[in-house]
Amino acid sequence: MNDTIRERAYAYLSDRLAYIYDIGILPDNYPHDSIKINKEEGVIEYELKRLFLLSEAKQRIIENTPYGIPKNVVKELTELLLVENIILDEEQTRIERNKARDDVPLTSGKIKKNEIIED
């Protein structure tokens, strides 16, 4: 590979990796529909469709390889460099679930003697 192609490949991968990492990469088997992400500006809730799954991120980088840059090189480097950067915090998840459960009242009203409960 000559220097010009190497520089173009480097520029392409640097740009794409930075873009995808900034959005966020989840494991392919992430079990939830949304996620709360703790960023500098606070906790933000995201729908998963706004983030990348690992396989989707790899595919996007490889498929959009510019003409003249060998796809096999991009594929090999992408496989080595791209990893999930959003990791589930099991402890915080447990705390949030317990808090949500505790916030739900056990009853929502009172029933008088001989009253009938209907659906």
Q: Mind listing the pLDDT tens digit for each residue in 19-33?
A: 999 988 988 888 777
Count CB neighbours of 91 within 10 A. Answer: 8
What is the total count of domains within the chain?
1
Nearest to 9 by CA among 57, 56, 55, 76: 76
pLDDT at 119: 60
Residue 17 within any structural domain of the chain: yes
Residue 98 within any structural domain of the chain: no
> Tokens 């959003």 belong to which residue?
86
What span, in angstroms and rounded, lies between the C-alpha atoms of 66 and 71?
Answer: 9
pLDDT at 9: 94
Residue 71 within any structural domain of the chain: yes
37-51 per-position pLDDT tens digit: 777 777 778 777 888
Domain assignment of residue 31, given as a range: 3-90
pTM: 0.69
Residue 101 within any structural domain of the chain: no
Block means of pLDDT (10 residues each) for the chain, 119 residues, are: 90 96 89 76 79 94 95 95 85 82 76 74
Residue 61 within any structural domain of the chain: yes
